[in-house]
Amino acid sequence: MSEIVFSAGLDVDWAALKAALVADYFDNGRTPDEYRRSHENSHAIIVASLDGELVANGRILSDGVCNAYLVDIWTASAHRRQGIGRQVVERLTATVPGQHVGLFTEDMPAFYASLGFRPQHGGMSRVVGSWLGR
Ligand SMILES: CC(C)(COP(=O)(O)OP(=O)(O)OC[C@H]1O[C@@H](n2cnc3c(N)ncnc32)[C@H](O)[C@@H]1OP(=O)(O)O)[C@@H](O)C(=O)NCCC(=O)NCCS
């Protein structure tokens, strides 16, 4: 029987990840090389696959001391509500014990609430210059 394989390594087909995100309407304009660099410069990443197909990914930024931030949390539409996203986030947060973990979400507060996250008002953000410098 097929099993989801979770990997924390950077041996990822970045073009395939980009294509999967585009197909699932969760691409934010990065090129495959920009996806690679985003992940390489993260504190930890998780990619999940099923029979060689990328079905989920996520990454966490951290200063290694007190502050961390979850980004790019995604499970392919066809594989949702099977606990994959939960595993991705739990594996990522396990790498930052004792740290405050923040995130932004517009559409999925229920998912993060199920993982113990609580709304914290006062968040602000801006893009420096134009998005991705383009
Ligand atoms: C958010 C997302 C990553 C969740 O992935 P997933 O693999 O389906 O999540 P899980 O199956 O691990 O869900 C764990 C729990 O979260 C909650 N949850 C997940 N999706 C939910 C939804 N659409 N509505 C309400 N609760 C939800 C449930 O409590 C669920 O447990 P249950 O299925 O036993 O009820 C996925 O829906 C996704 O990729 N969405 C589009 C991208 C996105 O919005 N990412 C977050 C950006 S900040």
Per the listing, tokens 């979770």 go with 6
Ligand 1 geometric centre to CA of 103 (Å): 15
Which of 5, 2, 35 has the alpha carbon at shortest distance from 20?
35
Select 4-133's CATH number: 3.30.1330.40, 3.40.50.970, 1.20.1270.10, 3.40.630.30.
3.40.630.30
Indicate which atom in ligand 1 lies nearest the CA of residue 104: 48
Residue 1 has pLDDT above 80, yes or no: no
pLDDT score at 93: 98
Residues 20-44 as b/e (b if ≥16 CB within 10 A, e otherwise) read: bbeeeeeeeebeeeebbebbeebbb
Domain ranges of the chain: 4-133
Q: 0.85 cut: is pTM over it?
A: yes
List, edge to edge, every strand of the sheet that includes 4-7. Answer: 4-7, 44-50, 53-62, 67-75, 100-102
Centroid of ligand 1 to alpha carbon of 134 (angstroms) = 31
Q: What is the mean pLDDT of residues 32-53?
A: 97
Q: What would the pLDDT profile of 55-81 be if each residue is shown by its tens digit? A: 999 999 999 999 999 999 999 999 999
* 6 C-beta closer than 6 A to ligand 1: no
Mean pLDDT score, 11-31 = 97
Mean model confidence pLDDT for the chain: 97
Report DSSP state, residue 134: -
